[in-house]
């Protein structure tokens, strides 16, 4: 098991966490000061950033190359791009964005759950390509591209029969291998795998929402182990961010009540 090293403050539900340079960015669902920025060493709050005209946030990621943060706006069907000073621009996805990641080419990958697509954008919003996922990848939540061009995708909503993590070919057409299957709580099963993180050796961390656990998979998406104990969380793990250089896994821990998130914080684990 890994060790929890720090817990960031409790507050409104958290919909994204990412690290950039020497700071940790936390995205909350509220009208102002949605992005909280913490020092990566002391975990002290440095500043808050307000993103105008934003609602229905779903995820956040960052790009070290362009020194910016991206936010998925589900209700506005757009992406917000923030620089480190907080200046923001946005562009439209023309579908509801869900999970976000940045690939080796420094482009943004947007997973669009309803239409089962991955859309690749330049840092300034130019649509470079879009891939339609295989028919049996239902309700994809998050996708990350590996250095060889393949994709790791998690999929499955609460009412779906199949909940899996899939390795998918670079053209998006074929499932090379998968982990999971019928919805469940045994080893080798998931109940809503919602978010991913991949390290530089291509080991995969999977946030398994309704099972309240994070699973570690090998580069061939075979089961290795559970990452931490349920006692380390108050609620459910809904987003992940891996700081590879510092070996820190940031886990969004949201409390769930009456079919909605009611509060949340971020736990930093040493991995």
Q: Does the pLDDT of residue 139 top 70, yes or no? A: yes
**Residue 229, pLDDT above cutoff 80:** no
Q: Distances in Å between the alpha carbon of 163 and those of 98, 136, 178, 254, 255?
A: 17, 11, 10, 21, 22
pLDDT band at residue 86 under the 50/70/90 scheme: confident
Q: What percent of the chain has pLDDT over 70?
A: 100
pLDDT reported for residue 2: 82
Average pLDDT over residues 112-140: 97
Per-residue tokens: 107: 């482009």
Q: Which two tokens stand for residue 195?
A: 């978010």
Tell me the C-alpha to C-alpha distance, in Å, between residue 17 and each of 3, 14, 138, 150, 180. 19, 8, 25, 24, 26
* Total number of residues shown for the chain: 271
Residue 65 binned pLDDT confidence (cut-offs 50, 70, 90): very high
Buried b (16+ CB within 10 A) or exposed e, 120-140: bbeeeeeeeebbebbeebbbb
**Residue 257: per-residue pLDDT:** 86
Give the integer Cα–Cα distance in Å for 98 and 93: 11
* Neighbour tally for 260: CB within 10 Å: 9
Q: What is the pLDDT of residue 1?
A: 62
pTM: 0.96
CB 14 within 8 A of CB 252: yes
Band the pLDDT of 123: cuts 50, 70, 90: very high
Q: Which residues of 54-79 are buried (b: 16+ CB within 10 A; e: fewer)?
A: beebbbbbbbeebebbbbbbbebebb
- Picking from 243, 235, 226, 146, the residue whose alpha carbon sits closest to that of residue 190 is 226
242 Cβ neighbours under 8 A, 6+ residues apart: 197, 198, 199, 205, 248, 249, 250, 271
105: left (phi over 0), alpha (psi -120 to 50) or beta: alpha
How confident is the model over 123-143, as a mean pLDDT? 97
pLDDT in tens, 161-178: 999 999 999 999 999 999
Given a contact cutoff of 8 angstroms between Cβ atoms, the answer to whether 240 and 250 are in contact is yes
Q: Can you give the pLDDT at residue 256? A: 85
Per-chain mean pLDDT for the chain: 95
Average pLDDT in the 58-75 region? 96
- Closest of 3, 16, 99 to residue 266, by C-alpha: 16
**pLDDT at residue number 138:** 97
Predicted confidence (pLDDT) at residue 157 exceeds the cutoff of 70: yes
* Fold exhibited by the domain 3-270: Neuraminidase (2.120.10)
Domain map of the chain by residue range? 3-270
Residue that the structure tokens 């080991």 belong to: 203
State the CB neighbour count (10 A cutoff) for residue 47. 12
Average the pLDDT over 214-235 and give the result.
92
- Can you read off the two tokens belonging to residue 70? 């991206």
């Amino acid at each position: 098991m890994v060790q929890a090293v720090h817990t960031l403050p409790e507050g409104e539900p958290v919909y994204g966490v990412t690290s950039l340079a020497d700071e940790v960015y936390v995205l909350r669902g509220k009208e102002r000061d949605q992005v909280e920025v913490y020092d990566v060493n002391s975990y002290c709050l440095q500043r808050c950033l307000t993103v105008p005209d934003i609602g229905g946030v779903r995820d956040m990621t960052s790009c070290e190359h362009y020194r910016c943060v991206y936010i998925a706006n589900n209700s506005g069907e757009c992406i917000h791009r923030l620089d480190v000073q907080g200046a923001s621009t946005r562009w439209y996805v023309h579908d509801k964005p869900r999970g976000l990641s940045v690939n080796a080419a420094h482009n943004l990958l947007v997973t669009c759950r309803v239409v089962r697509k991955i859309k690749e954008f330049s840092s300034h919003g130019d649509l470079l390509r879009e891939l339609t996922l295989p028919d049996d990848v239902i309700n994809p939540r998050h996708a990350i591209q590996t250095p060889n061009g393949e994709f790791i995708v998690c999929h499955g909503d609460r009412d779906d029969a199949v909940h899996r993590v899939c390795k998918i070919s670079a053209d998006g057409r074929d499932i090379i291998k998968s982990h999971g299957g019928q919805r469940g709580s045994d080893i080798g099963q998931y109940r809503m795998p919602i978010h991913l993180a991949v390290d530089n050796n291509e080991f995969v961390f999977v946030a398994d929402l309704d099972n309240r656990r994070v699973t570690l998979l090998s580069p061939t998406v075979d089961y290795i182990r559970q990452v931490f104990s349920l006692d380390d969380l108050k609620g459910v793990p809904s987003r992940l961010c891996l700081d590879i250089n510092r070996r820190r896994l940031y886990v969004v821990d949201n409390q769930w009540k009456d079919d909605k998130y009611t509060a949340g914080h971020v736990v930093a684990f040493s991995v």
